[in-house]
């Protein structure tokens, strides 16, 4: 529950970033570079969040890396595609802010934080070529291989790899090897060497670049195993947080604000069922996502927005008995979707969706 500022503080900073994925770490870097004192609080024992546990791609139309490859695009085409994706549910002001700032953000992190972006050629927009403004490839940005050893003390407290994406490989290499349909013939000697050298790709690589920029290069303090339990208010505004750390309450004052840059609600079954409208729900995400931002901000009267669940993407997955992720059962995403000869059937043995397009699964399941 929210608290008022009546107790002493354990730490005082200008900005508290709650979470340690792409959103929270980006906010921490930007605030630090503007002269603010920042602290990062993370519920999990490792930094990186969902961003460091997944594909690590960002979507930016008309980005500089794609233009440097000679791939043409335009801001107007990107705007039309975003309008199509939002299907009338977007807040026009917020969408305009997103479109105006996504390219400057990417370029800032490349120049000032050293992130080495790569435009993914050959990966088209989901709805290409049917949707207005859609593009054949290059809008997705990934990162170049990241050297885990450059993280210093944070090397062991970040995700070197995940069970969900191919470790130590770049998109262009996977495509050259024939993609997922030819996974048995990939260059595993090269992948093995990169794993032994802790060369990271996809999500672990993305967050490797960002954690290095924040925690190593800028020495921004980060506290893991420090879940935020409540927001602290004073005179109608949020002035800090109450977290748990090393078995006791940890109160952090935030003179300029709190950024709730946490993940979703995957492991809060009540919220997952409410927002996804699916009676049976499991997630491939790390087991630290409980919708804390929705609960804490909602307690203070914040407005919550939701889009129809049939507009979201859901991977079907499975659990192999005995497999765990951070002490909880691991659910693997079924990457067989889109591969030749893949068929999805219900318990009656009937096909019910377009197996080549995973965003069709959840609407068809309804």
Query: Which pLDDT value is given to residue 314?
Result: 66
Q: What is the mean pLDDT of residues 4-19?
A: 92
Residue 9 tokens read as: 């503080």
- For residue 92, the surrounding DSSP H or E stretch is helix 92-112
pLDDT digits (tens, 9 = 90+) for 248-283: 999 999 999 999 999 899 999 889 888 887 777 888
Given this model, what pLDDT does residue 313 score? 63
Does position 5 have pLDDT exceeding 80, yes or no?
Answer: no
Nearest to 268 by CA among 258, 281, 278, 257: 281
Contacts of 341 (CB under 8 A, 6+ apart): none
What's the pLDDT tens digit per position in 65-121?
A: 999 999 999 999 999 999 999 988 899 999 999 999 999 999 999 999 999 999 999
Which pairing describes strands 11-18 and 248-260: parallel, antiparallel, or unpaired? parallel
Which pLDDT does position 312 carry in this prediction? 60
Q: Bin 247: left if φ > 0, else alpha if -120 < ψ < 50, else beta.
A: left
Percent of the chain clearing pLDDT 90 (strictly above): 74
Task: Locate 264 and state its tokens.
Answer: 């979703």
Q: Which pLDDT score is estimated for 336?
A: 75
Return the sign of the alpha-carbon dihedral for residues 320, 148, 259, 306: negative
Number of H helices, E strands in the chain: 10, 14
Provide the pLDDT for residue 106: 97
Query: What whole-number distance in Å separates Cα of residue 287 and Cα of residue 257?
Result: 27
For residues 121-136, give the mean pLDDT.
95
Compute φ and ψ for 364, nearest 5 degrees: -70, -30
CB-based contact 254:239 (threshold 8 Å): yes
Q: List domains and CATH numbers for the chain.
A: 44-223 (3.50.50.60), 263-365 (no CATH)
Asked if the model's pLDDT at residue 335 lies above 80, the reply is no
pLDDT confidence of residue 241: 97
Structure tokens at 350: 């009937």
Q: Is it the case that residue 366 has pLDDT exceeding 70? A: no
| Arithmetic mean of pLDDT over the chain | 92
How much is the pLDDT for 304?
86
> Does the pLDDT value for residue 298 go beyond 70?
yes
CA distance 84 to 98: 15
Q: Give, as one character, the DSSP assignment of residue 310.
A: G
Confidence tier at 306 by pLDDT (50, 70, 90) = confident
Cα atoms in the 13 Å half-sphere on the side-chain side of 143: 31
Whether the predicted pLDDT of 286 surpasses 70: yes
Rounded to whole angstroms, the Cα distance separating 199 from 183 reads 20
């Amino acid at each position: 529950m929210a608290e008022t500022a009546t107790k002493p503080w354990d730490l005082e900073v200008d900005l508290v970033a709650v979470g340690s994925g792409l959103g929270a770490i980006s906010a921490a870097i930007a605030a630090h570079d503007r002269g603010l004192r920042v602290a990062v609080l993370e519920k999990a024992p490792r930094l990186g969040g969902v961003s460091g546990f997944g594909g690590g791609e960002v979507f930016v139309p008309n980005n500089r890396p794609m233009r440097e490859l000679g791939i043409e695009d335009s801001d107007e085409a990107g705007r039309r595609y975003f309008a199509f994706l939002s299907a009338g549910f977007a807040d026009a002001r917020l969408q305009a802010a997103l479109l105006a700032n996504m390219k400057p953000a990417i370029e800032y992190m490349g120049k000032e934080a050293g992130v080495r972006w790569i435009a993914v050629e050959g990966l088209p927009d989901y709805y290409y070529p049917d949707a207005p403004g859609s593009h054949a490839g290059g809008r997705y940005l990934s990162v170049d291989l990241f050297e885990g050893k450059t993280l210093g003390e944070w090397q062991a407290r970040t995700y070197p790899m995940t069970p969900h994406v191919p470790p130590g490989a770049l998109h262009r290499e996977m495509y050259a090897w024939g993609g997922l349909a030819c996974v048995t013939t990939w260059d595993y000697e090269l992948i093995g060497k990169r794993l032994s050298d802790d060369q990271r790709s996809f999500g672990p690589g993305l967050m490797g670049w960002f954690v290095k920029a924040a925690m190593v290069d800028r020495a921004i303090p980060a506290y893991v195993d420090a879940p935020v339990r409540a927001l602290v208010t004073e005179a109608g505004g949020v002035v800090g947080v109450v977290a748990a750390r090393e078995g006791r309450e940890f109160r952090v004052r935030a003179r300029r604000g709190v950024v709730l840059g946490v993940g979703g609600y995957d492991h809060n079954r009540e919220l997952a069922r409410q927002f996804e409208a699916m009676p049976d729900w499991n997630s491939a995400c790390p087991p630290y996502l409980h919708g804390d931002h929705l609960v804490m901000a909602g307690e203070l009267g914040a407005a919550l927005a939701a889009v129809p669940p049939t507009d979201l993407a859901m991977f079907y997955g499975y659990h192999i008995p005995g497999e765990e992720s951070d002490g909880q059962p691991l659910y693997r995403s079924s990457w067989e979707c889109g591969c030749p000869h893949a068929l999805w059937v219900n318990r009656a043995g009937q096909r019910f969706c377009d197996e080549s397009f995973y965003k069709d699964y959840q609407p068809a399941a309804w």
